[in-house]
């Protein structure tokens, strides 16, 4: 039996090239970074957040400790509806698809960590701080430290 090896280097080179290309990690876009500032008693962040992978960092510019909590609202639910339930003493859990995460910062500090989130097009996210300045003080969210952002796009 005879083998024709004249084309073997070309075949081997093609296999190596194909294997090299197939094993490369797929290109991914760099996540956008958004700095959220918390003051006494409001959040400062862009009016519009784009869909996709986003890194959220939290800087407390206030004089008291704050948290940056983020939750995904169920489709069709508004922040006003969530606040109505909370004011009535109820739990907003049935209006949420889940909590994205929470960052906590001391006064005049920026968190060491961040939230990495895939912002979903056509969805709304609530941002809140439920800290209190004392046991008999109202939560910061009731003082205005609550907001939401609707992500453009979607069906």
Q: Could you state, in chain order, the average pLDDT of each consecutive group of 10 residues for the chain (155 residues)?
A: 44 36 51 96 96 97 97 97 93 95 97 96 97 95 96 85
In a domain, 43, yes or no: yes
In a domain, 76, yes or no: yes
Indicate which CATH number applies to the domain containing 102: 2.60.40.420
C-alpha to C-alpha distance for 49 and 61, rounded to whole angstroms: 21
The pLDDT value recorded for residue 128 is 97
Name the pTM for this structure. Answer: 0.80
**How would you classify residue 61: left for phi > 0, otherwise alpha for psi between -120 and 50, otherwise beta?**
alpha
The pLDDT value recorded for residue 30 is 87
The pLDDT value recorded for residue 58 is 98
The count of domains in the chain is 1
Q: How many helices (H) and strands (E) does the chain have?
A: 2, 9
The pLDDT value recorded for residue 1 is 43
The pLDDT value recorded for residue 39 is 94
Helix, strand, coil shares, percent, the chain, to 5: 20, 35, 45
C-alpha to C-alpha distance for 85 and 98, rounded to whole angstroms: 16
The pLDDT value recorded for residue 28 is 58
By residue range, what is the domain housing residue 109?
29-150
Tokens 């008999």 label which residue? 136
Tokens 């090239």 label which residue? 17
In a domain, 51, yes or no: yes
Minimal CA–CA distance to 148: which of 50, 49, 56?
49
Report the DSSP beta bridge partners of residue 101: 70
């Amino acid at each position: 039996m005879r083998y024709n090896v004249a084309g073997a280097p070309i075949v081997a080179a093609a296999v190596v090239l194909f294997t090299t290309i197939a094993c490369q990690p797929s290109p991914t876009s760099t996540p956008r970074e958004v700095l959220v500032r918390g003051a006494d008693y409001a959040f400062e962040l862009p009016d519009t957040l784009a869909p996709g992978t986003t890194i959220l960092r939290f800087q407390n510019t206030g004089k008291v400790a704050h948290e940056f909590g983020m939750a995904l609202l169920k489709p069709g639910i508004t922040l006003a509806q969530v606040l109505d339930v909370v004011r009535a003493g109820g739990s907003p859990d049935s209006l949420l698809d889940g909590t994205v995460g929470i960052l906590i910062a001391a006064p005049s500090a920026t968190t060491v960590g961040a939230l990495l989130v895939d912002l979903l097009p056509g969805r709304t996210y609530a941002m809140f701080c439920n800290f209190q300045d004392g046991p008999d003080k109202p939560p910061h969210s009731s003082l205005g430290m609550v907001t939401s952002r609707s992500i453009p796009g979607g069906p």
